Structure 1
């Protein structure tokens, strides 16, 4: 299993993937405040590489997040999803404003989109990427080591406050069936 250890290696992996770069370019056109593409699209790409898969593992959705505490209505997120579908109709877009997502986790309001990423359930999923004037940026509050080594553990928030939700997600996701080399840590 080839490990990915640095943000630079992650950047190189994404830049070499035309589909992922097209996704990022598409989202960049919306000019959302404090936006990131995150979670499954990144996780699946890296784990496919770790498992030497030739074909891309299908993903349920493309998670696009942003942070706008002035406009928190869910209908605005749906509007952005429709804009993305007009540009790329065959992609499973999911847009969420992190200024309102703290309610789902029962936490204090987030301060930014990256703060929202830090409150995702699993460490290897708590990573975002975006283009800023053509340059790839990475937000990895816990680094890329877990993702790049195929280690799944809860983020500190879920470890301390919502561990049962993390445990249920691991049971439902069944990631070990797609990527058998993963190390999924449960207490």
Structure 2
């Protein structure tokens, strides 16, 4: 599997396309659906039973430095819930998310994705103006495709490594997808 096959796999998944189109309607600046939305699809195909693993939420990010009030994010979540009431939506403006980890401000959504805890989670997809899927993977797709859970460089050997460890313990990825490997280096 490679990036083209990931995009094809998403394009052929009616629910994922419906989800992408719903977020596209909002016309958020520099938006992406990321993390488990992409990672879980790949792992379901590579390491799972072929059935969709239920997501805790659908992570939608965007970048709008001129309006960083959390209430705006909640407004977008409500709009998405009205369009697609099934999943729980999590909408976050990356222009304010750096505060959670006590790091310098992000310059874009892509910069925010690159600061996610795991390389296999640092993924995002969106639709371009023609409705084509764009995939972003700041740390590449090799780890997610090979089932490797590894901290991204911003987390590796820093005080943030405890966040990585906590996520490993709470997410239970290795129970959901047999064959995953943890690499802390």
User: Which range, TM-score by smaller chain?
Assistant: over 0.9
Helix, strand or coil at the partner of 1:91: coil
Gaps of 5+ in 2: none
TM-score by length of 2: 0.96
* Structure-1 separation of matches of 2:107 and 2:48: 38
Superposition deviation, residue 160 in structure 1 = 3.7
Question: 1:52/1:178 Cα in 2 relative to 1: closer, same or farther (>3 Å)?
Answer: closer
For 1:42-61, list aligned pairs within 5 A: 42-61=38-57
* Structure-1 separation of matches of 2:97 and 2:22: 23
Instruction: Pick one of 22, 25, 32 that aligns with 2:21.
Output: 25
* Structure-2 separation of matches of 1:58 and 1:120: 21
Instruction: Pick one of 66, 73, 81 that aligns with 2:69.
Output: 73
* Structure-2 separation of matches of 1:119 and 1:46: 20
Count of paired positions: 183
2:30 is aligned to 34
Helix, strand or coil at the partner of 2:26: coil
Superposition deviation, residue 52 in structure 1 = 4.3
Gaps of 5+ in 1: none
CA RMSD of aligned residues (A): 1.0
* Structure-1 separation of matches of 2:51 and 2:179: 17
2:48–2:176 contact (8 Å) kept in structure 1: no
TM-score by length of 1: 0.95
2:30–2:108 contact (8 Å) kept in structure 1: yes
Helix, strand or coil at the partner of 1:68: coil
| Moved beyond 4 Å, runs of 4+ | none
